[in-house]
Structure 1
Amino acid sequence: MLEYPQFDPVMLSIGPLELRWYGMMYVFGILSGWLLGRYRASKSWNRMTPKLMDDFITWAILGVVLGGRLGYVFFYNAAFYFSHPLKIFAVWEGGMSFHGGMLGVLVAIFLFARANAMTFVEVGDFVSPLVPPGLFFGRIGNFINAELWGRYTDLPWAMPFPGAGGLPRHPSQLYEAALEGLVLFIVVWWYSAKPRPRGCVGALFLLGYGCFRFLVEFAREPDRHLGFVALNWMSMGQILCLPMILFGLGWLFYSYRDAA
C-alpha cells in the first residue's frame, strides 16, 4: 500500500488571497489547449487560423466553466442546490462535471461556428484533439484535492485518501489522467493528423472518452449521495457516457461505410 502524499491545496497565499492548485489545473488545461490549438491551426488543413483560435478560447472557457458547474448541479446534486441556490456559485467548494462542461463547449462551438461562417462539425473536429490535455490536468487537480477517489482494493499501489475511511483505495483520478488525458490525446491527435471523413475526429474523441471513463468507473467510488443509479452497478458517470459511446461508434461506422 502506498501513502497518499499530503498536498497543500493552496499553491500560493498573498494576504487573504489564495491561489489553489485545483484552480491552476484549469489554467494549465486551458493554456495547453490554446497553445496546441494555435500550433494545429498553423499546420492543419482545417480553416481554423491562429487568430480564430485566440477568439475561440474565450468561448471555450465560458463553456467549460458554466457548463461544468451547471452540469454538476443538475446531474449530480440537483436537490441540494435547488434548496441552497446560492451554493451554485460557490465553485471554490468543488463540484464540476465533465459531461456538463462538454455540453457547454458544444454550445460554444455552435455559437463560434455560426459567428465565423464555419460549420459545427468542422470546428468540433478541430477542437477535439485539444481537449484531453485539459482532462489530464483536471484529474491531477482531483488527486491533489483528494476527491473522487476509487473503491477499496488490496492492490500494491492502493492508497488511503483523507476522508475515505482509512481504507486503501484505487487512485482512480490517476487512472483517468492516464487514459482520458494521455492515451486519448495520443490517439486523437494522431488520427487527426490528416484529413478524415467529416465529423470522425470528434466521433473518435467521444467514443474514446466514453469507453475510458466507463471502464475507470468500475474502480471509482460512486458519489455517496447517488450510489449506483441503474442495475445496481452502473454509476451516473457510466450512464452519461453511454450516449457518447453510441453516438461516436455510430458516426464512425456510417461515415466509413459511406466512404467505402
Structure 2
Amino acid sequence: MHYFVDIDPVAFSIGPVAVHWYGIMYLIAFAAFWFLGERRRRLGRLPVGPTAFSDLAFYGMIGVIVGGRVGYMLFYDTVSLIAHPLSLFRIWEGGMSFHGGLLGVLVAMWLWARRNGLHFFDVIDFVAPLVPIGLGMGRLGNFIGGELWGRHADVSWGMIFPRAIETAGHSIEQLKAMAAAGQLDHEARHPSQLYQMALEGFVLFCVLYAVSMKPRRRYLVSGLFALLYGLFRFAVEFVREPDQQLGYLAWGWLTMGQVLSLPLVVLGLVLILMSRRAPILSPRIVEDPPKDAR
C-alpha cells in the first residue's frame, strides 16, 4: 500500500493564531544559518565582528524572500504578473523560486560585501555552506504541504498526494479509504520533495561544510555549490512534475527548472577552474570593539 500524504499544514495553534509547518521550516533554516554562521565567524572564516554578521544574516533573509517571490513570478507565472502586477505581493498564496532567491541573495551579499570592504566571493564562499539546510527544510515543507510532487511512479515507495488527484467530489476520508483499498495505486508518485531534501539539503551541506572548514582557495566553495546544486536539480527534474502553467518546454521532458539549472552548472565549473589560480584563504578572527572604545 502506498503512503497517503495527508499531513495537517498547521503544526499547532495558539488561540486564533495558527502556526504552519512551512513557517517553522523557515525559522529552522534562519536559525541554522545564524548558529552555524556565527560558529564559522568565530573560527575566522569571515573577518568581521558579530554586529556585521548580524547585518549579513538580515541582508540574506531579505534577499531570499524578495528574490524568491520575484523570481517565481518572472520565471514561472509571468502571465499572472502581467495581468495582475499586484499579485507579486500576494505571498500568502505561495510561490517561491530557488533561482530567484539565489539571485536575491547574490545582490544582497554584493551590497553587504561592498559596505564592509570584503571580496564578494569571500562572502559567497562563507555563505554557500549555510544555504543547503534552508533548501532541505524548504523541501520538507513542500512535502508536508503536499505540493510540488513528483511524476507518476510504479515503485514501492511511491506516494499518493491528494492535491494531485482529480477528486470527483470525494472527501479526503473517502480518498484515504480508496488508497487503503488499493484503488489509487495508479496515482502513486515520486516523493521528489524528499529526493531534493536529501540531495540539495543533506548531501550538499555535508560536502560544502567539509570543504569550507579546511584551507581552500577562493571561488572553490561557491563553485561546488553552483555545480552540485545544478546537477542535483537537473537530475530530480526528470521525476518531478513540471509546473502546471508551464508544462514541458521542449522534447517532452525539458522543464524550466532544468533550463535555469544549466547556467549554474556552467558557472560552477568556471569558478572551480578560477579557484586553481586563486589565493588560499587563511582564517582571521575579528570581534567588535568594546562599546566604550567606539
Q: Which has the larger radius of gyration?
A: 2
TM value normalised by structure 2: 0.84
Match of 1:223 among 243, 247, 257: 243
Match of 1:248 among 268, 287, 290: 268
Partner amino acid, structure 2, of 1:180: E
Shift of 1:13: 2.5
Decide whether the 8 Å contact of 1:45 with 1:195 is kept in 2. Answer: no
2:104 equivalent in structure 1? 104
Aligned-partner SS, 2:4: coil
Shift of 1:88: 1.9
Deviations 1:71-102 (A, max 9, x none): 00000001112212332222122100000000
TM value normalised by structure 1: 0.95
Partner amino acid, structure 1, of 2:190: H
Distance (whole Å) between structure 1 residues aligned to residue 41 and residue 235 of structure 2:
33
Partner amino acid, structure 1, of 2:118: M
Partner amino acid, structure 2, of 1:159: M
Deviations 1:164-220 (A, max 9, x none): 125100000000000000000000001111222211111111111111111111110
Shift of 1:26: 1.0
1:22 equivalent in structure 2? 22
RMSD value, Cα: 1.6
1:234 equivalent in structure 2? 254
1:58 equivalent in structure 2? 58
Decide whether the 8 Å contact of 2:71 with 2:99 is kept in 1. Answer: yes
Match of 2:188 among 159, 165, 168: 168
User: CA distance change for structure 1 residues 45 and 89 in 2, over 3 Å: closer, same or farther?
Assistant: closer
Decide whether the 8 Å contact of 2:139 with 2:193 is kept in 1. Answer: yes
Distance (whole Å) between structure 1 residues aligned to residue 150 and residue 45 of structure 2:
41
Matched positions, count: 259
2:169 equivalent in structure 1? none
Identity of aligned residues (%): 50
User: CA distance change for structure 1 residues 257 and 126 in 2, over 3 Å: closer, same or farther?
Assistant: closer
1:121 equivalent in structure 2? 121
- Structure 1 stretches of at least 4 aligned residues deviating more than 3 Å after TM superposition: 48-51
**1:154 paired to 2:154:** yes
Decide whether the 8 Å contact of 1:129 with 1:189 is kept in 2. Answer: yes
Distance (whole Å) between structure 1 residues aligned to residue 250 and residue 224 of structure 2:
26
Q: 199-208 or 172-181, which moves further after superposition?
A: 199-208
Deviations 1:30-63 (A, max 9, x none): 1111111001111134314433222211101100
Distance (whole Å) between structure 2 residues aligned to residue 245 and residue 63 of structure 1:
22
Deviations 1:217-250 (A, max 9, x none): 1110011110111333210000000010001012
Partner amino acid, structure 2, of 1:255: S
Unmatched runs of 5 consecutive residues or more in structure 1:
none
Greater relative contact order (Cα 8 A, min sep 6): structure 1 or 2? 2
Aligned-partner SS, 1:163: helix
User: CA distance change for structure 1 residues 15 and 212 in 2, over 3 Å: closer, same or farther?
Assistant: same
Decide whether the 8 Å contact of 1:36 with 1:130 is kept in 2. Answer: yes
Partner amino acid, structure 2, of 1:205: F
Unmatched runs of 5 consecutive residues or more in structure 2:
166-183, 280-294
